[in-house]
């Protein structure tokens, strides 16, 4: 990874080599990054019970991984696909700066990917076909009647974490994207499941739990608040 300093955006300009659209792809997390709310966290708050609260505590403390947490959460909540889709439509909002960011990267011709530890139904339900045109999405799925259960993108991912693997390993996704595109990765994230992407990305934008993790580990990143910040940074790097 490039040597960056966890400073503000204005200070970062003099520390970075120019961002080259021909050398990079942009990969973004979905929940809490593209969206203002984390749909998975809010889903558990709305539909969960005492058992879900214990599961979430185990996940946040590192006792279990994302994959096991999802299996147990949906087993405890017992919700239908219609309930899930209605919840997404009614509760999850997009970062106000995301549309301008999307227009900007499309105008520059920079490929954009979305890598989510959550679910395709949330990504598609929130962003819709127009926003997702030419955007490849890596996410888990939901299926089942009457109650939905997770269908993980990766059935048997290789993982060295003591908590066990995620249903969709972001590190593996980034490696696939690098191999497919032959380009470096600029990654944008905010949460626990984004930690595994840090070791693969050449440039990292972080906030929230991901930024705190990077601070604790002494890992380089660019602090951001929203997609308007990232668009401004990209504009500073334009030739």
Question: pLDDT per residue over 54-101, tens digit each?
Answer: 999 998 888 888 889 999 999 999 999 999 999 999 999 999 999 999
1 pLDDT tier (thresholds 50, 70, 90):
very low
Place 157 in a pLDDT band, splitting at 50, 70 and 90. low
| 202-218 average pLDDT score | 95
Do 50 and 100 contact (CB within 8 A), yes or no? no
pLDDT for the residue 43? 98
Q: What is the model's pLDDT at position 118?
A: 94
Domain boundaries, the chain: 9-37+93-237
Q: Give the pLDDT band (50/70/90) at residue 148.
A: very high
Is the per-residue pLDDT at 23 higher than 80?
yes
Work out the percent of the chain whose per-residue pLDDT is above 70: 85
| 9-37+93-237 maps to CATH 3.90.1010.10 | no
What is the arithmetic mean of pLDDT over 201-229?
Answer: 95
């Amino acid at each position: 990874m490039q040597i960056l300093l966890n400073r503000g955006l204005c200070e970062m300009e003099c520390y970075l080599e120019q961002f080259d659209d021909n050398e990079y792809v942009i990969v973004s997390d979905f929940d809490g990054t593209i969206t203002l709310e984390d749909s998975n966290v809010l889903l558990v708050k709305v539909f969960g019970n005492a058992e879900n609260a214990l599961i979430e505590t185990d996940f946040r403390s590192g006792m279990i991984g994302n994959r096991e947490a999802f299996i147990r959460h949906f087993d405890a909540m017992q919700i239908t696909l219609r309930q899930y889709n209605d919840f997404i439509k009614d509760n999850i909002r997009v970062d106000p700066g995301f549309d301008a960011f999307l227009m900007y990267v499309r105008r520059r011709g920079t490929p954009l990917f979305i890598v989510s530890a959550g679910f395709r139904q949330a990504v598609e339900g929130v962003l819709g076909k127009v926003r997702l045109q030419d955007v490849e999405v890596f996410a888990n799925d939901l299926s089942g009647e009457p109650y939905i259960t997770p269908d993980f993108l990766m059935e048997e991912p290789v993982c060295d974490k003591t908590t066990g693997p995620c249903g969709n390993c972001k590190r593996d996704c980034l490696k696939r994207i690098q191999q497919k595109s032959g380009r470096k990765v600029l990654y944008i994230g905010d949460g626990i499941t984004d930690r595994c992407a840090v070791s693969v990305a050449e440039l990292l934008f972080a906030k929230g739990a991901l930024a705190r993790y990077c601070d604790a580990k002494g890992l380089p990143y660019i602090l951001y608040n929203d997609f308007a910040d990232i668009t401004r940074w990209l504009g500073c790097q334009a030739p």
